Amino acid sequence: MSRLSAVLAGAALLLLASAPSVAYAALPALPDTTTFDLDEHRWTHRPLLIFAPSDTSVALTSQHERLDRQHDGLRERDMIVVTLRASGTSTYEGTPLHADTAARLRTRFEVARNAFRVLLIGKDGTEKRRYDQVTAPETIFQVIDAMPMRQREMRRDSTDAK
């Protein structure tokens, strides 16, 4: 190998070695993400899964606004909110989810990418109710409050308060 070839080869290696760090430095830091597994919440929470096409979904914004006003009602019923967007960042109680987690849940519950759906999952991990439009939290609460497990919780809570 000639001296010129050796110098060019060395320069190319140096350039290639530094390229990933330059590209990496230019990328914005990704937020911490988490996974979400329904089985981990069995018998402790009632997940409310909100599926939407994107961050700009009018239905999604409206559903979140309604739920935000009912924080105490959600907490009383051991509910957690999981927002699953087909494009954009999905979240679990405000924490970004891995994209594969959102895709897995969308497939499991057979929700099309362009659909808006609200699914109530019971503490037993099964789907209890499915809504295809923005739903008042009070409507969801009525469904939960009629469940035998919730009836027992309310009786227990009223006994504990005495």
Together in a domain, 77 and 9: no
Q: Structural domain tally of the chain?
A: 2
Calculate the alpha carbon distances from 125 to 40, 45, 46 in Å.
9, 9, 8
Structure tokens at 101: 């987690």
Together in a domain, 101 and 21: no
User: Strand runs (DSSP E) across the chain, as ranges?
Assistant: 46-52, 79-85, 91-92, 95-96, 117-121, 127-131
Do residues 118 and 84 touch, judged by C-beta distance below 8 A?
A: no
Q: In one letter, which amino acid is 91?
A: T
Together in a domain, 125 and 54: yes
Gap between the Cα atoms of 117 and 27, Å rounded: 34
Together in a domain, 123 and 104: yes
Give the structural domain span for 20. Answer: 1-30
User: Is the pLDDT at 35 greater than 70, yes or no?
Assistant: yes
**In this structure, how many other beta carbons lie within 10 angstroms of the beta carbon of residue 24?**
8
14 CB contacts (<8 Å, ≥6 apart)?
none
**Per-residue pLDDT tens over the stretch 86-141:** 999 999 988 999 888 989 999 999 999 999 999 999 999 999 999 999 999 999 99
Q: Please state the pTM of the whole predicted model.
A: 0.78
- The phi and psi torsions of 119 (rounded to 5 degrees) equal -115, 130
Together in a domain, 63 and 15: no
Res 31: pLDDT: 53
Together in a domain, 83 and 7: no
Structure tokens at 96: 């970004």
pLDDT band at 36 (very low <50, low <70, confident <90, very high): confident
**Per-residue pLDDT tens over the stretch 6-17:** 434 444 433 334
Res 96: pLDDT: 94
